[in-house]
C-alpha cells in the first residue's frame, strides 16, 4: 500500500521509466535484507521494502502499458503483463517444490535469494524501455515524445503513422491540461466517480473470488485435506494459471472484456459450488479430494482466462489521463488492502482451530462470484477497441454498461459516415452524429 501511494509522487516527477528503475532498486534491497536474515526485524524490514516495490510496480507498469499502446493492442499488452505475473508464480512454485526437499535455513533462503533475478529483469527492462510518449508530451518534450512513439511502434520518426499518432496525443493532452489543476475531490464526482468505483470494485471482487485461497493457502489446505504431493499440485495449478492466462491474450480483444467476465464468472461459480456440495455430502473421501483438485484446476483455468486478466485491464484503462495517476493509485491501494484483508481472514475460516470450514469455505467464494457476475453485467462497459479519448466519451455520455457494445457499433458507424474519403487517416469528429 505504501508503494502504491508512492507512485502518485514518483510517476510524474521522475517518470514512469524512473519509477520502475526505483522499484527495481528497492526490490533488490528487500531481497538482500531477507536473504541475510534470520533476525526477525531484518526479515520484516526486507519484506517491507519488497512490498513497497511491488506496490509501486503495480501502479506504474499497467499505466505505462496503457499510455504506450494503441487502442487495439492495449488489452493484449496488459494481459501479457498478467501472463508474466503468472509465469513468475510458476517459477516460484517450482523453486518451492525443489527447496522443500532441503533442510534447515536453505529451505527458505534459496527461495528468497532467487528473487534477485527478477529484480535484474525489471531493472534491465526499465533501462531499455522508452519513456511514456503521453508523459513526454504532457511535459512539453515533443522531440522526445516522437522518438518514444517511433521506438515503441518500430516506425520512422517522420512516417505518416507516427505523425498521426503524435497529433492525437497532442490534441488529447492539450484538452486534458486545459483543466490542469487537479483536485482529488474530482475523483468522486460525475463520470470520474463511476470510473473510480469501477476500478475499485474490480480490485475487490477479483481478490474476493477465492483465487487468494488457492494460491496463498492451497498447499497447506490440500495437505490438511489429505491430498498427497500438495506441493506438486500447487505447481500444476500455477502451470494451468499461466497457460490459460496466455489464452486470455486472444480472448481479451476477440471476445471482449465484458463477455469474458460474465462467462468466466459463471464457470468459476460452478467450480466453487461443486466441491463445496460434495464436501458437505461426503467430507474427507477420495471423491471429495478429487472434486477439490478438479474444481481448483478448472476454476483457475476460467479465472486466468477471464477475471485474472480482465481485472488488471479494468483496474487500469477506464480513467481519464488527467486523473489517471490519482485514480490508478487509489485503485491499487484498495487492491492491496483487499488482498491483505482476505489473506488475513482466510486462515481463520479454514483452520481446524478456528472456524474449521474446510472445503465449505467454497460456499463463501461462490456467493462472492455470484455477486461479481451481477456487478459485471450492470457496471462493466465494453472498452475493447476504444481509444483513450473514446473511452472518455463513453463515460462522459453516461452510456449504461449493458448498452456499451451497441454504443460502440454506433460510434464506428458514425465514423464511417463522416470520414473524409480524400484523407482517410484524419481524425473525424463524431460528436453531432452520436447525438442523433
Instruction: Output the pLDDT for position 403.
Output: 93
Low-confidence ranges of the chain (pLDDT < 50): 422, 425
Instruction: Output the pLDDT for position 26.
Output: 93
Instruction: Output the pLDDT for position 370.
Output: 97
DSSP 116-184: HHHHHHHHHHHHHSPPPHHHHHHTT-HHHHHHHHHHHHT--TTSHHHHHHHHHHHHHHHHHHTT-S--G
Instruction: Output the pLDDT for position 205.
Output: 95
Instruction: Output the pLDDT for position 394.
Output: 92
Instruction: Output the pLDDT for position 270.
Output: 94
Record the cell numbers describing residue 381, joined without a space: 462497459
Instruction: Output the pLDDT for position 230.
Output: 63
Amino acid at each position: 500500500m505504501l508503494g502504491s501511494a508512492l507512485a502518485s509522487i514518483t510517476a510524474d516527477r521522475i517518470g514512469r521509466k524512473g519509477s520502475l528503475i526505483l522499484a527495481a532498486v528497492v526490490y533488490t534491497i528487500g531481497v538482500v535484507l531477507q536473504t541475510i536474515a534470520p533476525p526477525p526485524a531484518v526479515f520484516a524490514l526486507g519484506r517491507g521494502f519488497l512490498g513497497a516495490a511491488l506496490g509501486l510496480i503495480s501502479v506504474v507498469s499497467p499505466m505505462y502499458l496503457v499510455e504506450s499502446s494503441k487502442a487495439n493492442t492495449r488489452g493484449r499488452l496488459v494481459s501479457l503483463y498478467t501472463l508474466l505475473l503468472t509465469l513468475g508464480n510458476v517459477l516460484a512454485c517450482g523453486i518451492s517444490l525443489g527447496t522443500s526437499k532441503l533442510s534447515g535455513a536453505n529451505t527458505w533462503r534459496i527461495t528468497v535469494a532467487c528473487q534477485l533475478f527478477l529484480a535484474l529483469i525489471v531493472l534491465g527492462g526499465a533501462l531499455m524501455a522508452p519513456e511514456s510518449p503521453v508523459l513526454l508530451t504532457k511535459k512539453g518534450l515533443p522531440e522526445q515524445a516522437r522518438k518514444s512513439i517511433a521506438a515503441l511502434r518500430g516506425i520512422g520518426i517522420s512516417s505518416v503513422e507516427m505523425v498521426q499518432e503524435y497529433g492525437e496525443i497532442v490534441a488529447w493532452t492539450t484538452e486534458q491540461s486545459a483543466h490542469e489543476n487537479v483536485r482529488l475531490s474530482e475523483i468522486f464526482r460525475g463520470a470520474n466517480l463511476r470510473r473510480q468505483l469501477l476500478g475499485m470494485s474490480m480490485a475487490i471482487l477479483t481478490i474476493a473470488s477465492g483465487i487468494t485461497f488457492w494460491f496463498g493457502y492451497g498447499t497447506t489446505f490440500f495437505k490438511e485435506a489429505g491430498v498427497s504431493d500438495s506441493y506438486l499440485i500447487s505447481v500444476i495449478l500455477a502451470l494451468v494459471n499461466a497457460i490459460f492466462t496466455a489464452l486470455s491474450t486472444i480472448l481479451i480483444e476477440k471476445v471482449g472484456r465484458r463477455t469474458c467476465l460474465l462467462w468466466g464468472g459463471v464457470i468459476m461459480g460452478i467450480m466453487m459450488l461443486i466441491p463445496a456440495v460434495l464436501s458437505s455430502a461426503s467430507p474427507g473421501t477420495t471423491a471429495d479430494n478429487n472434486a477439490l483438485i478438479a474444481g481448483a484446476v478448472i476454476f483457475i483455468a476460467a479465472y486466468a482466462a477471464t477475471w485474472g486478466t480482465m481485472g488488471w485491464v479494468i483496474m487500469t484503462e477506464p480513467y481519464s489521463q488527467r486523473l489517471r495517476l490519482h485514480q490508478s493509485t487509489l485503485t491499487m491501494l484498495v487492491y492491496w488492502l483487499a488482498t491483505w484483508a482476505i489473506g488475513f481472514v482466510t486462515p481463520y475460516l479454514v483452520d481446524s482451530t478456528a472456524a474449521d470450514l474446510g472445503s465449505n469455505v467454497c460456499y463463501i467464494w461462490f456467493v462472492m462470484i455470484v455477486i461479481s457476475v451481477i456487478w459485471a453485467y450492470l457496471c462493466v462497459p465494453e472498452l475493447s477497441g476504444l481509444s483513450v479519448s473514446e473511452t472518455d466519451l463513453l463515460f462522459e455520455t453516461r452510456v449504461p454498461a449493458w448498452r456499451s457494445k451497441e454504443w460502440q457499433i454506433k460510434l464506428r458507424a458514425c465514423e464511417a459516415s463522416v470520414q473524409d474519403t480524400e484523407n482517410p487517416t484524419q481524425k473525424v469528429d463524431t460528436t453531432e452524429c452520436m447525438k442523433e
